[in-house]
Amino acid sequence: MNKDMEYIIHGNHHDPFSYLGMHPVERHGRMMITVRAFIPEARTISVVDNERENISYPMERIHAEGLYEIAIEEREKVFKYRLRIVDHSGNIRDAFDPYSFLPILSNYDLHLFSEGKNHFVYRRLGSHIMTVDGINGVYFAVWAPNARRVSVIGNFNGWDGRRHPMRVLGSSGVWELFIPGLSEGEIYKFEIKTTDDLILLKSDPYGFFFEMRPKSATIVHDVDRYQWGDSKWIDERPGRNLHHEPVSIYEVHLGSWRRRPEEDQKFLTYRELAHELVDYVKEMGFTHIELLPVAEHPFDGSWGYQVIGYFAPTSRYGSPEDFMYFVDHCHQNGIGVILDWVPGHFPKDAHGLAWFDGTALYEHFDPRVGEHKEWGTLIFNYGRNEVKNFLISNAVFWFEKYHIDGIRVDAVASMLYLDYSRNEGEWLPNRYGGRENLEAIDFIKELNALLYGYFPGIMAVAEESTAWPMVSRPTYLGGLGFGFKWNMGWMHDTLEYISKEAVHRKYHQGGLTFSLLYAFHENFILPLSHDEVVHGKRALLDKMPGDFWQRFANLRALYGYMFGHPGKKLLFMGGEIGQWVEWNCAQSLDWHLLQYEPHQKLQRFVKDINHVYRREPSLFEIDFEYTGFEWIDFHDADNSVMSFLRRGRNPDDILIFVCNFTPVPRFPYRIGVPRSGFYRELINSDSEIYGGGNMGNSGGVLAVDLPWQGRPYSIELTLPGLSVLILKPG
C-alpha cells in the first residue's frame, strides 16, 4: 500500500485533492486519466461521462475500506463526470465528486483575511449554499492553519472524517471543500486532526445556525432569503444623530422576559416576542430594545455571555428568519434594536473556539494573557490578524444581515487592561512595560471606525467601568471611537445614595451630585442594568429603604431623577413593574404583580415619564454639553433637596426638576427660575395615579418677580416627600 493510499484510508492526508478525483497522468510514455474515490458504503462505483450518458467506466476496489480507482487509457484530457454508486443494499445513486472542483476562495480573499481586512469574510468562510458549474451543493471553508487534516462530517457521510477531507489553500491556513448534492438543513461539524494525532470535533466558527443545546452541530442555512419590510427605517437611519435624539432603552433577556407557565415554562419564540415584547415596549414609550446576547451559547446560566456561535442567533427561540422577523417588526414599529456583543472572552467548551486546531488559535497560549480565571473563559488574541478579522466581520455581520441598530460591547475594561482582575505576577506587561492591552486598543478603534463608516446612524456603546479617557470620542481625535459609554459611576453612586435610609442622605448628597463633575466628559448612557439586580444585589424595589409605601416612592424618585440627569437612559426589564426578587434567567418576570395597584401605578409612572422624555427636547437635545444643564440649587443637603434645569437648543425649551429625597414634605419651598409666567407640573411622582400621596401644586405655579438663588424670578412649591417634580414654563 503506497503512502497516499495509507493516508486516505487512515484520515491523515494533508492534500486529498492530489490523490482523489480525476487526474491526467503519464504511464509508459502515454497520457491517460485516473480517477480515485473513497466511499466506504459503496459496493461498486462507475465513472460516468456527463456529456455522454452511455459511456461509463467501472472502478476497481483497491482497498477493502472502500478506496476505488480506475485508469482510463482511451482518455487523455479531464472531462466532467459523476460517480454512479451502488451500495451494499443494491441502491443506485449518482453523485458528483467533491474532488472534481477547482478552488473557490480567491487569492484576494485570502490575502485580505491574512491582513485582517476582509470585513465581510463571513460571505466566504463557514457553509454556503451555492451552485458551481451548474451543480448545486454546499461550500465549506474554515481557518485551521495548524491542523494536519480537516474534514466535514455529518449525517451525509456517517460522521466519518475520512470521507470528506478538505484542501488547504496555500499558506493561508484556510481549508475548503464543495460537496455537491448537499442542501439547506444539513447538520455538520469540522473534524480536525491535530499534529499530535488528536481528533477534535468543532462547530463552525462562522456557522449561521446551530442545533438546540445540548446538541452542538452547525446547520447549513441560507441567511439571505428573508424579505425585509423595514426599508424606510434603514433608509432614514444614516440621517439620524442619536446624540441629539431621545434614547430610552429597555434591556431584555429574551428567555426570561415572559414564558408560558401553562406550557412548562416554555420560551416565547422570536415571532411571539416580535408582537408581545415590541407592542409592550412601544406602549411603554421606550425607543430601543437592548438584548442580552442572542448569539448561540451552550449554557443558559451564562445569559449569553459565553458565546460559541458568534454568527448565529440562538436556536432557543427559533430560526434566523424568525429573529430577522423580530428585528423587522421592531423597525416597522419605530423601535431600534441593540445587541449585547461579547468580543472580550469565549468559553472553553470542547466544540467551540478553544484550542481550535490543536493550538491556541483564537486565544493566547500563555494564560497570563489568554485566560480569564475569574470567569473561566479565554481571551481573544487581538494581535492576530485573522482573529481580529473574525471579530470585526462578526460585528459587521449583525448589522448587514440582521439590520440591527447598535451593539453594546461587553466588558471593555477587561479588554483594555492586561492586569484586569489579576494579581501581581499573573499578567504580562505590554512591550513598553505598561498595563494597557495595545492590540485590544487598536482592535477597538478599528472596529468602531469601520462600523460608523459602513453603517451611519448606528450606536456603538461601551460597557467600560474605569476612567479610561475619551472612550466615546472619535478615533481621529485620539478616542476609542465609541458613540456612547455606560455611566457605571453614576449607577453605582446613585444606587448607593438611594439605598440609604432617608435620615442619613443629607450626609451623602455629594455622592449624588458628583456625577455632574464628569457628566460631559463622555457621551453617557445612564444604566440601571441587569448587573445590579443579580448575585445578591437585590431587585431595585427591594434596594429601596423604608416601609412599603416609601419603597415605591423612592423608586419613582430614582426614575424621575434619572430622566432629568443628562445622558441617555437604560432600564432592565422588571424594573418598571417593581420586581421584589432578583432577576432569575430561568423563569419569567413576575407579571402577576400587576394585579396589585402599587405595581400597576409604578408601571404607569415609567410609561408617562418615558413619553414626557420623548416629547421634550430639553431632555435629549443637549445631553453631552454643559449648556444643556444648570444647577438651581444643590446645597440644600439638610433637606436632601436639589433642583436643576434642563435646556434644549431652542431657548424656550426649558424644564425644571425638583427632587426631595426625604419622606418629609417641604412647603413652602422657593426656588429661582429664569423667567416669569406659569410653570405647569408635567410630572409629580407623588401623584395618586402613580401610587403617591397626591400632594402637589394643583397642576402648576405662577412665577413671581422675586429674585432668588441668583435668578430674576422664583416659584413657591409644595414638595411632597420622596418625590420628583417636573415643571415647564409657558
Q: Is 421 left (phi over 0), alpha (psi -120 to 50) or beta?
A: left
Amino acid at 310: Y
Helix (H) or strand (E) holding 398: helix 385-402
Cβ neighbourhood burial of 196 (10 Å; 0-12, 13-18, 19+): exposed
Which segments within 416-483 are labelled E, that is strand?
459-462
- Residue type for 512, please? L
The CB density around residue 91, as the number of other CB atoms within 10 Å, is 10
* DSSP string over 179-244: EET--TT-EEEEEEE-TT--EEEE--TT-S-BPPTT---EE---SS------HHHHHHGGG--GGG
Q: What is the DSSP letter of 50?
A: S
* Single-letter amino acid code for the residue at 95: A
Give the active site residue among 176, 410, 464, 522.
410
Do residues 183 and 135 touch, judged by C-beta distance below 8 A? no
Q: How many CA atoms lie within 13 A of 564 on its CB side?
A: 30
**C-alpha cell belonging to residue 101:** 472542483
Looking at the DSSP bridge assignments, the partners of residue 251 are 290, 572
**Cell numbers at 203, concatenated:** 462547530
Contact at 8 Å (CB) between 84 and 48? yes
Cell matching residue 570 = 437604560
Question: What's the angle, vertex CA 387, arms to CA 218 and CA 155, rounded to 5?
Answer: 15
Instruction: Decide: helix, strand or coil at residue 528.
Output: strand
Q: Are 223 and 262 in contact (CB under 8 A)?
A: no
Residue 463 annotated as catalytic:
yes
Q: Is 628 helix (H, G, I), strand (E, B) or coil?
A: helix
Catalytic residue among 321, 371, 463, 653: 463
CB atoms under 10 Å from CB of 258, counted, come to: 19
Cα–Cα distance measured from residue 382 to residue 359, given in angstroms and rounded to the nearest whole number: 16
In this structure, are residues 17 and 100 in contact, taking their beta carbons and an 8 Å threshold? no
What's the rounded Cα separation, in Å, for the pair 112 and 120? 10
Catalytic-residue membership of 69: no
Residues with Cβ < 8 Å from 535, sequence gap 6 or more? Answer: 582
- Measured CA to CA, the distance from residue 392 to residue 165 in angstroms comes to 29
- What three-state secondary structure class fits 530? helix
Residue 210, beta-bridge partner list: 218
> What CA–CA distance (Å, rounded) separates 687 from 697?
10
Please count the other Cβ atoms lying within 10 Å of the Cβ belonging to residue 391: 22
Decide the pairing of beta strands 654-660 and 723-729: antiparallel
Region for residue 134 given its phi and psi (left: phi exceeds 0; alpha: psi -120 to 50; beta: otherwise) = left
**Grid cell locating 676:** 416669569
**What does the H/E/C string look like for 75-102?**
CCCCCCEEEEEEECCCCEEEECCHHHCC
Closest CA to 415 of 465, 379, 452, 450: 379
Instruction: Give the residue numbers annotated as catalytic, written as ranges.
Output: 410, 463
